[in-house]
Structures are given as C-alpha cells and as structure tokens.
Amino acid sequence: MNRPQVMGIVNVTPDSFSDGGRLVTVEAAVAHGLRLVAQGADILDIGGESTRPGAVPVNAAGEMARVLPVIADLRARWAGPISIDTMKPEVARAAAGATIWNDVTALGGDPHSEAVAAVLGCRVVLMHMRGEPRTMQADPHYDDVVDEVSNWLTARAETAMAAGVAREQIWLDPGIGFGKTAAHNLALTAGLDRLVASGFPVLYGASRKRVIQSIDASAVEAGDRLGGSLALALAAARAGASILRVHDVRETVQALSVQAAVCASMN
C-alpha cells in the first residue's frame, strides 16, 4: 500500500480552532514548519485566515502580512512543496515560493480566482464548502451527501479546466466539517472511494475536527482528538486519498507506515 502524502498544517492565525495564537510570529511559524518537515511532512500548508465555523474574515493586506514572510523564510530553508491556504486570488498571486493553492471556495469565492489559478499554473486544491465560514454550520442538509459533494467538486474541476487550469494540477477535497453535520462527515469518509473514482487526487482533512467529539464526548478540546484523527486518516488512506492534511505529522506518518507494513505482510 502506497501511503498518501502528508500535508502539515501551519496556521499563522490568532483564532484557528486548534492552534490559533500559537504561531503568530514568523519565527515561531517557521520553526514549527521545519519541525513538521523533520517529522515527515511532505507538504506544508500555510494559512493566515481562520475558516472555522463563525470565523471573522481578514482582509488581503492583513492576511499577506501574516503569511508572506513565513513562506519566504521557509522557502529559503526548505525545497519541498509549500501550499498557500487562502480564498483570495491576490494572496495566492503574492505568495511567491508556494507551489500549491489550497482554496476552501474551490476557486469560486472571487470572480478572478480561476483566471489567476490558470496564470499561476500551480497545483490547486478545490474544496467543497456549503455556505461560508460564518454560517456554514447552520443546519446543513443533503439528500445524498457523497453524491452531491462528489458531483459538485467534479463540476468545479470542469469549470476550472475550462478557465485554463490543467487537469493534472487539480486536487479535490470533500471539505470535512465545512457545512456538514457529524453524520455527513462520517458518510463522506465511508464513501471517499467514490470521490477517488473521479480520477482526481483527493485531499482529506479531518485532523482534530469536531466530528471526533460527536463519537467521543470527552474530546472537548482539539488536542484531545489525536486517536480519532488517526482513525479517520487511516480510513481515508485505505479509500485511496492521495494527501492527508494534519496537525500531528509524526503520529500520522507512523500510523500510515504501520498500516502499510501490515498490508505488505498480507501479500
């Protein structure tokens, strides 16, 4: 079993749900990113605006002030892939050194996003989100969440390609926790192979999310959800996810390695 790539999260924000306020200086964020690389991260995802439920928007200038120095410093120290996690095309354009644009709006949040992505020629993560961060958890409803999310994402991929984004540059993300109930998130995880069957690489991110608390009520704090995060990551890997976006890189790499060794021993 080939293990997915592991994308380590570096949130340069004061209000992210898990680690907001921990990495608000360039030095702290860069040190954390390099620590994740040492633990086995294949990709670093740098974000300067929280997208947790109820998050307050940040303007482009404020977001760039947070992330651009971090990306520049990391690029000077590490040659691996860096992702900019932003909804704003002007931030993606300014993020010299980043080779991936991770967009929770699937290039639909700004009328210029698709054209900018095409010009940049970088990898693009198209994520599904019902609504927007401030309101996305207000009673989301689906008749068949797996079909609806998969169909919406493949339609967004087609739109991106029509705008000039190369097919091989597109990754899809079902958006665990973004406009979904716990039941929706579990159904998407169980049915992830249907999104994988689209032929696009699939990024899966459920690290420390509240879906875990829905199963273990004692996991009130994000830091209490390591076991659940690993279980979801392994399930996604078995379903064919190509990239796992996680906070706990060392533990995830270890879990994936053990799962791969078990699978290899069965052959």
Catalytic residue of the set 66, 156, 209, 225: 209
In angstroms, rounded to a whole number, what is the distance separating the alpha carbons of residues 97 and 83? 9
Does the active-site annotation cover 88? no
Catalytic residue of the set 66, 156, 180, 245: 245
Does the active-site annotation cover 123? no
In angstroms, rounded to a whole number, what is the distance separating the alpha carbons of residues 137 and 254? 33
Q: Which two tokens stand for residue 216?
A: 């273990």
Residues annotated as part of the active site = 209, 245
